[in-house]
Amino acid sequence: MDIRLNRVELLRELVPMQGIVERRSTIPVLSHLLLRAIDDRLEVAATDLEVSLTSSCEAEVEEEGAIALQAKKLLEIVRACEGDDVALSLDSETQTVSLAAGKSRFKIRGLPADDFPTLPSLEADGAVEVAFPTFKKMVGKVFFAVSSEESRFQLAGALLEQREGALTLVATDGHRLALVESEVEGLEAADSVLVPRKALQELLRLEDEADLHFRRGEHHLSFTVGRRQLICRVLEGTFPDYERVIARDNDKHVVLPRQSFAAAIQRVSLLTGDRARSIRLNLRDGELELTAANPDLGEAREDLPCEYQGEELSVGLNPDYLKDFLGAVETDTVRLELKDEDSQCVAYPVDGDDRRYLCVIMPIRI
């Protein structure tokens, strides 16, 4: 390998790879990136055996070759260097890369490219196309509800459903559920698949205005955005029937200013415990009272004007779940639909751009 390429371009491709590599793996090569100089480009790849990310950048290739280099250290070196260009040359006998940028010179020991795992690939046909900014916003609106418990593997991801003219993402951790549905032209065939949490997390980190091309294989999913392709395993398991969880008979509706509501929740929740995270919402005509009590810390109360008419109602909710929803919403006002203290709260944005967006939050007995 003997190549020269733009340092900023290389840095732009190294940064997204850092979330993929396994730094604590018992397999040393998984903490490395595969660099392959071929034709007029440098191909870069990272994998943890479950999720892989590949990309490339233009390069002047004098001699083709490949090597695996430690991901974090390579990023630190390229970021610290000065100069517009980076030159890389490989000594295949010692598996050492010489890196030159500006007045800096480094020699980096690597691992043979053959030690790097074989990356999965999917057929190029049958792709679903959607604007990546749209899809990324959808992921951001449900990601907080994805379960982080490894034992609940069927909830450790989001359900991606496609049907004629619409794309839907649903996530739940058993205590709350988030659903977003957007109109997407050109979708015809109905299909659904579970996308694992880490793949969603890495898609959120990507920055691109291009279209996303989504493909599904027998065991893998592929997301291609510009020069980058993320491939992950299909998450096995049966996702719950989420439509049955969404309450249809909540007859008490309250409309609130989003930012004021979020700020009040933040203040009141200061006096909740680390384990017992709960606040009480007390509703009466035109006013919402938020309270929290902790025997070791004290009590908090705040009143907030709202649009509500009906009988008084009191319900306990997790303040973190409310804040996650309010942080994902883009509208100035939100609507909560309630029934009684034992029924779930369903939260919606008011006049949002999505075809449908909601968050179901289960109540807490206080």
pLDDT attached to residue 297: 86
pTM: 0.90
**Would residue 120 count as lying in a domain?**
no
Q: Are residues 223 and 133 in the same domain?
A: yes
Express each pLDDT in 29-64 by its tens digit. Answer: 999 999 999 999 999 999 999 999 999 999 999 999
- pLDDT tens column, 195-209: 999 999 999 999 888
147 and 233 share one domain? yes
Tell me, yes or no, whether 223 and 306 share the same domain.
no
Asked whether residue 217 falls in the same domain as residue 255, the answer is: no
**176 falls within a domain:** yes
pLDDT by residue (tens digit) across 1-11? 999 999 999 99
CATH number at residue 355: 3.10.150.10
pLDDT tens for each residue of 340-350: 999 999 999 99
Q: Does 15 lie in the same domain as 66?
A: yes
On whether both 24 and 95 belong to a single domain, the answer is: yes
Among 75, 93, 115, identify where a domain stops. Answer: 115
Please tell me the predicted confidence (pLDDT) of residue 124: 67
Give the burial class of 285: count Cβ atoms within 10 A of its Cβ; 0-12 exposed, 13-18 middle, 19 or more buried.
exposed
Which tens digits make up the pLDDT trace of 129-164? 899 999 999 999 999 999 988 777 889 999 999 988
**In total, how many domains does the chain have?**
3
Based on the fold, state whether residues 34 and 99 are members of the same structural domain. yes
Domain that holds residue 294: 247-361
- Among the candidates 208, 243, 278, a domain finishes at 243
pLDDT at 187 (0 to 100): 78
Q: Long-range contact list for 37-45, CB < 8 A, 24+ apart?
A: 37/1, 37/2, 37/3, 37/61, 37/63, 37/64, 37/65, 37/66, 37/88, 38/64, 39/64, 42/3, 42/5, 42/10, 42/88, 44/13, 44/14, 44/17, 45/17, 45/116, 45/119
147 with 190, same domain: the answer is yes
Same structural domain for residues 237 and 253? Answer: no
Residue ranges in the chain modelled with pLDDT below 70: 124
